[in-house]
Amino acid sequence: MKCLTNKWREGAMLLSFLLISSLAGIFTACDDIEDEYITDTQLSILQESRTSLNYLLKNSTYGTAPGTYPETGKDILNAAIAELDALITRVEAGEELDETTLEAAVAKVNQAIDEFKNSKYYNLSPEAQQYINNLLAKADEILAIVNDETKWGNHQGQYPVENKSVLESAAKDLESLAERIKSGSITDMTQEIYDEAIAAADKKVEEVEDSAWPDNSQITWNLFVDGNAGSYIDFGYSEDYVKFGEDDNQAFTIELWVNIKEYCNKQGEDNCTFLSTMTNDPYWSGWRAQDRTKGLLRTMVAHWQDNNHTNPQEWEPGWKKSDNWTKDRWTHYAFLFRDKGLPGFDTPTDVKCYSMIDGTRQGEVIRVGESWRTYINKQSIANQIKMTGFCMMDNNGNRNEWFSGYIKKIRIWKTNRTENQVYASYMGNEEGVSADNPNLVEAWDFEVKGDQPTQSATRTITGLKGHTATLVGDNWQWIESTDITDNK
């Protein structure tokens, strides 16, 4: 605690940091922590505060000479100690203080330390005192910029947040010079020293001002669709979305990122559809990626159960980590399918499909021995089923199984991607996403940089290969990526 007697402006800051760090430990504690533990922690904070004040009281030098504290300074510390003693008595008796009361006690300790420090006698000339006042005023001016949050961010005209440290350093240098003058370390303060200090500070301020963003090109916006309020994406019909080769020899991969803001709010429905091309008119055809029961990621895919293309059924391989884990979280989801079997297994011709989540194979693997159990797209083509996002359509064209949130970087491939390629996509190192790649059916990012897009300019969005996606309804908007909750 000796630093408290040697630091002029920093002593209170140090104690404040220590005490508020302790406070954070109390009020972010888990609910199941015993009350006794919380009370003991509050008691230790108050006792440590008292120890700090008592150290200053007992170890400071009192008198009338420069560098000493007046006898009246003791009154400041004794009054603060008395208030703490009253609180300590209450806590020792079993009372649990609320956050506001404890924070107020810490604030009063800091105020007492500041008042005590400022009572110190100094033998300063009027000129030296003026230098000190001017230096501290300049430091406060710079710190006012640091503390003005409207000046910091990634929008045009704002300063990059990481440059706060430049101004904090400038203010600290000015405060340090003022302290050295006040403590007597500098005995011959001159205008030249002062001017050099101010010029150095101004240079840092100018450096930060020059770093202001000239435009919004660094800002990322993601498409939010409020499916619970009626909006969705209509991708239209294209055979490309469901036909991935000749019958009995098809392979495809669906990749996307999803962040669910609110699960489906329709009574009795527990699915949240990401993308769907599916129909059951008159039998199941196509595929649909979704979240079921608030956390089960899966894809439903139609297949023939019996030989000679008979008995249409569906597979639904999926994986659930825990309840609600997909909410407010960016999750990378991929579904891999191949009629002839996926590689990487001891009997690869038997493995038809599985999911990958955040770059890793997860959950059920569909492994069957019968070669005729192959993908069905017939009725999706015959009925020209539109692909939809944020919902699926029933046979009457009614919207069902919707949700509200975000989908980005949709990739539809007419091949089975390798697990290494899917992992690379998850890690942000996509391979093969180009208009001239024949295995890429389509790619939509639903993520843009620059100025915030408007509804009128982005209601129809064209994919990398030319297919269009139309936003239906008006309950959608572009949200700055830094404002999107991600509990990953």
**Which tokens in the block code for residue 98?**
């609320």
Across 316-353, b (16+ Cβ under 10 Å) vs e yields: ebbbbeeeebbbbbbbbbbbbbbbbbbeeeeeebbbbb
pLDDT 10s digits, 450-488: 999 999 999 999 999 999 999 999 999 999 999 999 998
Task: Report yes or no: 299 and 290 within 8 Å, Cβ to Cβ.
Answer: yes
Q: What is the rounded average pLDDT of the residues 175-194?
A: 90
Q: What is the pLDDT of residue 121?
A: 65
Q: What is the pLDDT of residue 68?
A: 83
How far apart, in Å, do the first and last CA atoms of the chain sit?
40
**Tokens 């000046």 sit on residue:** 151
Evaluated on CA atoms 85, 86, 87, 89, the torsion sign reads positive
pLDDT 10s digits, 260-289: 999 999 999 999 999 999 999 999 999 999
10 Å Cβ neighbour count for 23?
18
Which of the 8 DSSP states describes residue 327?
A: B
**Which tokens in the block code for residue 55?**
């150290």
Task: Report yes or no: 433 and 443 within 8 Å, Cβ to Cβ.
Answer: yes
Q: What is the pLDDT of residue 14?
A: 42
Residues in the chain: 488
Instruction: Say whether pLDDT at 377 is over 90.
Output: yes
pLDDT 10s digits, 292-310: 999 999 999 999 999 999 9
**Tokens 């209509």 sit on residue:** 234
* Residue partners of 72: CB distance under 8 A and separation at least 6: 119
- Amino acid symbol at 432: G
List C-alpha distances in Å: 37 to 40, 42, 43, 72, 341: 5, 9, 10, 38, 58
Instruction: Say whether pLDDT at 27 is over 50.
Output: no
Q: What is the pLDDT of residue 28?
A: 40
Task: Report yes or no: 259 and 330 within 8 Å, Cβ to Cβ.
Answer: yes
pLDDT 10s digits, 241-267: 999 999 999 999 999 999 999 999 999
Q: How confident is the model at residue 36 (pLDDT cuts 50, 70, 90)?
A: very low
Q: What is the pLDDT of residue 40?
A: 53
Q: What is the pLDDT of residue 19?
A: 43
Q: How confident is the model at residue 17 (pLDDT cuts 50, 70, 90)?
A: very low
Tell me how far apart the alpha carbons of residues 350 and 374 are, in angstroms, rounded to a whole number: 11
Q: How confident is the model at residue 10 (pLDDT cuts 50, 70, 90)?
A: very low
Instruction: Say whether pLDDT at 35 is over 80.
Output: no
Query: 176 burial class (0-12, 13-18, 19+ CB within 10 angstroms)?
Result: middle
Supply the pTM of this predicted model: 0.74
**Tokens 């956390």 sit on residue:** 295
Pairing type for strands 220-226 and 476-480 reads antiparallel
Instruction: Say whether pLDDT at 69 is over 90.
Output: no
Instruction: Say whether pLDDT at 29 is over 70.
Output: no
Task: Report yes or no: 392 and 233 within 8 Å, Cβ to Cβ.
Answer: no
